Amino acid sequence: MDLTFYKNKRVFITGHTGFKGTWLSRILINAGADVTGYSLSYPTNPSLFEKTNTKNEMHSITGDVCNYTGLLNAIRESEPEIVFHLAAQPIVRESYKNPVETYKVNVLGTVHILEAVRTVRSIKSFVNVTTDKVYLNREWLWGYRENEELCGFDPYSNSKSCSELVTYSYKNSFFNDFNSPAISTARSGNVIGGGDYALDRIIPDCIKAIENGNEIIIRNPFSTRPYQHVLECLSGYLILAEKQYKEKTLEGSYNFGPDENSCVTTGELATLFCKYWGDGAKWKNISEENAPHEANFLKLDCSKAKKNLGWFPKWDIHNAVRKIIEWEKAVKKGVSEAKITDKQIMEYFG
């Protein structure tokens, strides 16, 4: 992918202080884009956004997507050409604890950003980032395609299905003119990468256990997920935003997930992590009784993105895990989080 397209482009990102938001911000900063972010304060402690000092390299605005006036003013002031909507409550288990807040952020936040997009004339390309979990999961052995039925099971997944429907309605109601912004949704797999400090995620849990000298605990070792390095899906979002910016007919919904050989169970991912980490790392299964429902089998069919956008996965699951461990061990040796993050961005994009 040639990132020169983004040089001097004005880009607006919601949720820029999160894990994916920080990686995306740094990609765009390195590409020479004029980046504005709008997000709540750091969602985790520690925070990758804070540790990389990304705040000082872009225009960072603290705000809530549920506050429409604040969001609209921020977009009007920055006059972006491209908007990436990442702000969300992204954790399945948290959605069971706080379903109202999850629906509020993930659904109303989508309404607010789309309403703002239709009032700011500078915008030409909008990408709403949802999830692979938007589909009605039938536990099929094959990957879901973009035209499959939407109906996430848990509050998080279902709220993201609703976000997809909101986007579909706005696109047909307000953005169907040829000169209106191109509107798309991006559905990516389970994202992993260095600097993820979120709760209830497999890789952060592995690292925390090792740091504390404990055995890694895996609660759903037999669940198959489309795990992928964070740079894989972000490259998809960037290609999609660029392609539809140039050709509106390419707008739509797109899956960005790993190839078949990189769809592994959670237990297999933990085994790979222990293998590449070394130092006697190991994990154990503590499957929980009466645990909140999560899908056992989930894959994505990414044929549409490959055909229409020319996007293809670059790092398989082995490379993804190795890059995470490289990132973590570099930081432990005193390399700055910003330096190792930018190094891996350069390696990925070339």
- By annotation, the residues acting in catalysis are 156
Residue 23 near residue 346 (C-beta atoms within 8 A): no
Residue 88 near residue 162 (C-beta atoms within 8 A): no
Identity of residue 266: T
Residue 327 near residue 320 (C-beta atoms within 8 A): no
Exposed / middle / buried, residue 237 (Cβ in 10 Å: 0-12, 13-18, 19+): buried
Residue 68 near residue 90 (C-beta atoms within 8 A): no
Residue 129 near residue 84 (C-beta atoms within 8 A): yes
Residue 221 is given by DSSP the state T
d(CA 314, CA 345): 12
d(CA 243, CA 251): 8
Residue 292 near residue 218 (C-beta atoms within 8 A): no
DSSP, collapsed to helix, strand or coil, labels residue 15 as coil
Residue 264 near residue 227 (C-beta atoms within 8 A): yes
d(CA 205, CA 237): 27
Exposed / middle / buried, residue 33 (Cβ in 10 Å: 0-12, 13-18, 19+): buried
Residue 270 near residue 317 (C-beta atoms within 8 A): no
